[in-house]
Amino acid sequence: MRNFDEDNITQAVLDSLSGCAIPRTRQISEALVRHLHAFVKEIEPTEAEWAGAIAFLTRTGQMCSDTRQEFILLSDTLGVSMLVDAINHRFEEDTTQTTVLGPFYVEQAQDFPIGSPISRESDGPALLVEGKVEDSRGNPIVGALIETWHADDRGFYDVQRDAGKSALDMRARFHTDQEGRFWYRSVVPAAYPIPNDGPVGAMLDAQGRHPFRPAHVHFKLSAPGFETIVTHVFIDGDPYLDSDVVFGVKDALITKLAKTDGQVSPGGHEVASDTSLLTYRFVLPDKPRN
Tell which positions 112-171 bind a copy of itself, by CB under 8 A. Answer: none
- Compute how many residues bind a copy of itself; rule: CB under 8 A: 76
Nearest distance, CB of residue 274 and a copy of itself, angstroms: 29
Between 9 and 142, whose beta carbon lies closer to a copy of itself? 9
From 1-9, 116-124, 139-147, 174-182, span contacting a copy of itself (CB under 8 A): 1-9
Between 60 and 122, whose beta carbon lies closer to a copy of itself? 60
Residue (of 66, 89, 85, 87) closest to 75 by Cα position: 85
Q: What share of the chain is helix, strand, coil (3-state, %, to 5)?
A: 25, 25, 50
Between 154 and 209, whose beta carbon lies closer to a copy of itself? 209
Q: Give the one residue of 115, 140, 192, 251 binding a copy of itself; rule: CB under 8 A.
A: 251
The footprint of a copy of itself on residues 23-52 (CB under 8 A) is 25-29, 31-33, 35-47, 49-50
Between 169 and 244, whose beta carbon lies closer to a copy of itself? 244
- Encode 217-250: b = buried (16+ Cβ within 10 Å), e = exposed: bbbbbbbeebbebbbbbbbeebebbeebbbbbbe
Cβ contact 193:212 at 8 Å: yes
The verdict on 202 binding a copy of itself (CB under 8 A) reads: no
CA–CA separation, 82 and 131 (whole Å): 24
The verdict on 60 binding a copy of itself (CB under 8 A) reads: yes
Q: How far is CA 53 from CA 56, 57, 175, 216, in A?
A: 5, 6, 46, 33
The footprint of a copy of itself on residues 220-239 (CB under 8 A) is none
